[in-house]
Chain A
Amino acid sequence: MDKQQIEQGVVKVVCQVLNVDPGMVQPESNFVFDLGAESVQSVELVAGFEEEFGIEMDEDAALSVETVGMAVEFITKVCKEQGVEVEE
């Protein structure tokens, strides 16, 4: 898996959970303020990322991620820590 695939996976989950158009999902998009994520949707996003990438994330750390770009970075880091190969 490469970084682009992670970005695509993140966009896919965000669109599914928040029911938004892919064009709205930019690296700087804030989940709450730009994409309108409610409390339960933040949890659903993290659950969706875990399922999409086959990883487990720390609850507090994952829920403190604010933007799409930060999510890509965070997931990349967790993938590496949990033995999922990521090409730079």
Chain B
Amino acid sequence: MQYEISGASRLPIYRQLVEQVREGIARGDLKPQDQLPSVRQMSRDLVVNPNTVARAYTELEREGLVANRPGRGVFVAEPRADLTKDARRKRLIETIDRLLTEAVNLGFSEEEVARLVAARSRQFHWNTPNSAPK
């Protein structure tokens, strides 16, 4: 998996890294038990302050996406079983609400949004087979 950061981005560097790992996991480029580069390695590869990489990893660990095994490294975590279905549903609903707000601000109608979501979902490479839409 390739990581890259952009100075022109509106996101702070640590958030750019968090998003890339998150997307990598969602697309299946990163699989459970895969090891992420060490803070030192990532910091040298991307030429960023090691504290920034450490902050991204701390954030990912807090979200339960990676696990830090002291002395061995940072690994992609198994899919979350600790959150209840309700809690996961709640989190997804918050994200959907943000999407809808953005859609309204950008002047899209309800039908247009529904069509777009369906179209993107067909193109999306769903990671787990049992969640694939039929």
Q: Do A and B bind each other?
A: no
Chain A residues at the B interface, C-beta cutoff of 8 Å: none
Chain B residues at the A interface, C-beta cutoff of 8 Å: none
